[in-house]
Structure 1
Amino acid sequence: MQVVLLIDFGSTFTKLTAVDLEERRILAAAQSFTTVESDVMQGFNHALEKLHEQLGNMQFIKRLACSSAAGGLRMVASGLVPSLTAKAAKLAAFGAGAKVIKTFSYELTEEDIAAIDDIAPDIFLLTGGTDGGNFKVIQHNAELISTAKKPFPVVIAGNRSAAKKCEEIISSDIHPTYITENVMPELNRLNIAPAQAVIREIFLDRIVSAKGLSHEKALIEGIIMPTPASVLAALSLLSKGTEKTKGIGEIMCVDLGGATTDVYSIAKGYPLNSSVMLSGLREPFEKRSVEGDIGMRYSAKGIVDAAGMEEIVNISGLSSEEAESYLCEISHDKSRLPSDDSTKAMDFALAALAVRTALIRHAGELERIYTPSGAVYKQQGKDLTGIDKIILTGGALVHSDNPQAILDTAISNIDESNLVPRNPKAILDSGYILSAMGLLSTYDEESAINIMKQYIGGHVDGAN
């Protein structure tokens, strides 16, 4: 028996999954609270003990790990203009598993540097200008960043003509610099993979070491990557397949948590109508977005702010007083679970509106423009209307009585200008295996895709 141990050091739980490569099946899974305040290996060892209780003292031929402990990389980015370079910087950060705290555009000010020091980011992504284009702004920003008092590494991914000068300005003991390729070398052409690779390298060198993961090199081997990057790898594999195993085609995934909502799309997103023009940045085939203000408990207020109390009342069927009362309860007790029909109805409404908001923000938008020869349409972002499968994960979706109904409600009453899926089927990742399978795909793609097809391949047509 060839068994691989897959480890996800999450912000709350450390999850272990043991996989048999010969039979291509999951043998057992276990979890324990992540001990991020001390040494994360303590939580790992507790989970490992639980796993051995199920499997005996089994030996593993490989141990692979990913982590989002302590929220992963907290990133600040700066660019030239919001609609171009700054957006490219955000896409690069999300793809690498970082959490973008704030972005700045145009020339930084001393007040901006004070704000950056207050944030104390784990990493700063400095972009600006196409290759051969504007270099004054990125050099000005480099001068100001060099005055920041808090220590953080700086990734320089802007106009290549200015890269070395920016490095000379910024590089110091508290601000080590990393030069990589421009995230937007030409107007409207993204080049985010090199920046993503550097961000992941910094993740390994700085964040992982700080949390105690590097102290157990004999225990954990192989590639360690951010958990969102591992999920993205799993979804990409499931979508595209391998030489031997066919993928399931273009897909999306929504991960609804207590504090944030992540959306992934593995799709080209090109206009489906020949009369539509694609405008602005071409977004990557594999895209992740993070809604930091949308979540079922810590960010429930964000759902209300985005969707409105009237919509929550309409979907839940409760009075505004009942809805307000429940929102007050969960704001004081984040562990509060629905216990009766009314609280289940409220969680249903919150989940549906969280998914709706996150999908709208992730997908592209269609704009009608009137010209002398008639109306034309301009598309910004991805057209995801043709996506027919959305993987759902996260406690509120996995434990729902009817996740398909949540998804159906989420996509109802959406303006046609929002290019979200129109009639998708829900697929549940009820075992939370995506991050584990992303890790496994770096070692054995065939086992990873076959296990995913077994465990998250079925459509949800009604109640579980």
Structure 2
Amino acid sequence: MKCYLTIDFGSTYTKLTAIDIENESILATAKDITTIEDDIMIGFNNAFETLKKEIEKTIPFSEVEFTNKVACSSAAGGLKMFAIGLVPELTAEAAKKAALGAGARVMKTYSYELNSKEMEEIKNAPVDIILLAGGTDGGNKDCILHNAKLIAKHKIEVPVVVAGNKAVADDIEEIFKEAEIDYYMADNVMPKINKLNVEPAREEIRKVFMNKIVEAKGMKNAEEFISGILMPTPAAVLKAAEVLAGGTDDEEGIGDLLVLDIGGATTDVHSIAKGEPTKAGVLIKGLEDPYSKRTVEGDLGMRYSAISLLEAAGSRKIRTYLNDTEKKWDVKGLCRYRHDNIRMVPRNDEEIFFDEAMAMAATEISMTRHCGILECVYTPMGTMFNQVGKDLLNTPFVIGTGGVIIHSKNPKRILEACKFNPQEPVHLKPENPKFLVDKTYILSSMGLLAQELPNLAIRIMKKYLVEV
């Protein structure tokens, strides 16, 4: 039996999926704790042994032939990045959108001409990559040149992806070659005002991840066993969402969708939609969002970020989801406990109920931040509205993934928190979506499979994503 083996080296768990290519089905899945501190293959081998036992329940393992073994990774904190641009509202924001779509976690964005203090901060920070942008094509040259010279002067040792004004591309290459900076050139992320072009930069970031970051994370041992680590895990999830939404020439997609991924450290939201205004009298304002958009909320997580989730949501919001009008729950203490015990697994109904209340708060806040917003404008012709970001009111599908959703007995209750709230009508959240759940944790593996077999990946997702 010919199978694909996909591996997701996660920050907490290493997850394996055996895909039966001939029968277009998931043969088995398994997971174990990721052992990045010692040898990442220890956790992998433990998971692989579990996978063998799961397969043996169906067929002899000796009959399985893994024709391809591919992986993604967010181990050791994933891909951490700084984005540098010209002005915050334009090229700095464009750089951030490109970085997020590539699966990176943007730690900070910088604007205008950097100073020495900022460069020292960048040099000493534990980041994996820098994205340098600035200026539209033929526009401002001084800012990006100044920043490139400072990067060279300070001998920045992490890879730099350059995606700014093409008029200075040759100058920057010369500066970086002379200073022996490890750099990669991409097309401008914003060649014209308010027009994004993020895909070339995303592709260069993925190349850097494959060529440099994997080695830096001590994952060479894994590459000896598998065909290659193709991309960061969030980029794999985004790839799966893109192919499921858009389809191919041979396999129809399901249309616009959102993916909500609640993890221990972050809550990620992916939207595959143009997000154009659906109401009359609404004009788009500012920088357009890419068709494939990802946001990462580093303060909304179930374990690592439990305290910051409490700070972002407030006790009152979490109590609302607990139906706790008499303040019987020690909300602060329970969030603190989860932060201090990041591998805690809820063992009774009370612990599950509290986790799900946290998840609902994370869902509501992350979706509010991801979706577009309406701004009221008064004109001589009457009241008009500007739309900043995407209008996702008519999005037909929301897909939930992440442990708290997958293991919930009532995932719809969590996902309902993402919906449009009539009391906050300026937030353009989905009004009446269908909810699908990634019960078998296959989205990242389908993103990997879609690199070579997109039609098969679509058919498997249609089969295994469960409507609730």
TM value normalised by structure 2 = 0.93
Matched, 1:376 2:420: no
In structure 2, what is the Cα distance between the partners aligned to 1:332 and 1:223? 31
Q: Which secondary structure does the structure 2 equivalent of 1:61 belong to? A: strand
Give the structure 2 partner of residue 324 of structure 1.
332
* Of 268, 278, 281, the match for 1:275: 281
Give the structure 1 partner of residue 400 of structure 2.
392
1:390–1:427: 8 Å Cα contact kept in structure 2?
yes
In structure 2, what is the Cα distance between the partners aligned to 1:251 and 1:103? 28
Residues 116-145 of structure 1 deviation map (CA, whole Å, 9 limit, x = unaligned): 123132111110000110111111111222
Which moves more between the two structures, 123-132 or 425-434? 425-434
* Of 76, 81, 88, the match for 1:75: 81
Matched, 1:195 2:201: yes
Matches within 5 A, 1:243-392: 243-318=249-324, 319=327, 322-340=330-348, 342-392=350-400
Give the structure 2 partner of residue 22 of structure 1.
22
Give the structure 2 partner of residue 436 of structure 1.
445
In structure 1, what is the Cα distance between the partners aligned to 2:219 and 2:350? 44
2:375–2:387: 8 Å Cα contact kept in structure 1?
yes
Alignment CA distance shift 1:181-1:329 (3 Å): same
The Cα shift of 1:243 comes to 2.8
The Cα shift of 1:179 comes to 1.7
In structure 1, what is the Cα distance between the partners aligned to 2:379 and 2:225? 65
Residues 150-205 of structure 1 deviation map (CA, whole Å, 9 limit, x = unaligned): 51111111111112222322346762122211100100111111111111111011
Q: Which secondary structure does the structure 2 equivalent of 1:391 belong to? A: strand
The Cα shift of 1:336 comes to 3.4
AA partner of residue 358 (structure 1): S
1:89–1:125: 8 Å Cα contact kept in structure 2?
yes
Which moves more between the two structures, 168-177 or 347-356? 168-177
Give the structure 2 partner of residue 239 of structure 1.
245
1:326–1:343: 8 Å Cα contact kept in structure 2?
no
Give the structure 1 partner of residue 9 of structure 2.
9
* Of 143, 161, 166, the match for 2:172: 166
Instruction: Work out the percentage of aligned pairs sharing the same amino acid.
Output: 47
In structure 2, what is the Cα distance between the partners aligned to 1:270 and 1:188? 15
2:310–2:332: 8 Å Cα contact kept in structure 1?
no
Q: Which secondary structure does the structure 2 equivalent of 1:146 belong to? A: helix
1:158–1:184: 8 Å Cα contact kept in structure 2?
yes
AA partner of residue 353 (structure 1): A
The Cα shift of 1:341 comes to 5.2
Give the structure 1 partner of residue 428 of structure 2.
419
Q: Which secondary structure does the structure 2 equivalent of 1:11 belong to? A: coil
AA partner of residue 449 (structure 1): I
1:156–1:167: 8 Å Cα contact kept in structure 2?
no
The Cα shift of 1:347 comes to 2.2
In structure 1, what is the Cα distance between the partners aligned to 2:336 and 2:5? 41
Alignment CA distance shift 1:59-1:339 (3 Å): closer
In structure 2, what is the Cα distance between the partners aligned to 1:252 and 1:81? 29
Which moves more between the two structures, 172-181 or 260-269? 172-181
Alignment CA distance shift 1:343-1:15 (3 Å): closer
AA partner of residue 207 (structure 1): I
Q: Which secondary structure does the structure 1 equivalent of 2:89 belong to? A: helix
Alignment CA distance shift 1:41-1:174 (3 Å): farther
Alignment CA distance shift 1:414-1:436 (3 Å): farther
Give the structure 1 partner of residue 32 of structure 2.
32
Count how many residue pairs are aligned between Structure 1 and Structure 2: 459
Which moves more between the two structures, 244-253 or 181-190? 244-253
AA partner of residue 297 (structure 2): E
In structure 2, what is the Cα distance between the partners aligned to 1:218 and 1:76? 30
AA partner of residue 397 (structure 2): K
2:78–2:105: 8 Å Cα contact kept in structure 1?
yes
In structure 1, what is the Cα distance between the partners aligned to 2:6 and 2:101? 21
Matched, 1:144 2:153: no
TM value normalised by structure 1 = 0.94
AA partner of residue 427 (structure 2): N
The Cα shift of 1:279 comes to 1.5
Alignment CA distance shift 1:216-1:120 (3 Å): closer
Alignment CA distance shift 1:328-1:209 (3 Å): closer
Which moves more between the two structures, 269-278 or 40-49? 40-49
The Cα shift of 1:97 comes to 0.9
Give the structure 1 partner of residue 58 of structure 2.
none
* Of 442, 447, 455, the match for 1:446: 455
In structure 1, what is the Cα distance between the partners aligned to 2:209 and 2:31? 23
* Of 389, 401, 412, the match for 2:409: 401
In structure 2, what is the Cα distance between the partners aligned to 1:333 and 1:413? 37
1:77–1:103: 8 Å Cα contact kept in structure 2?
yes
In structure 1, what is the Cα distance between the partners aligned to 2:422 and 2:145? 47
Unaligned runs of 5+ in 1: none
In structure 2, what is the Cα distance between the partners aligned to 1:10 and 1:177? 27
Give the structure 2 partner of residue 95 of structure 1.
101
RMSD: 2.0
In structure 1, what is the Cα distance between the partners aligned to 2:328 and 2:117? 41
Alignment CA distance shift 1:293-1:278 (3 Å): same
Regions of 4+ moved over 6 Å: none
Unaligned runs of 5+ in 2: 56-60
The Cα shift of 1:433 comes to 0.3
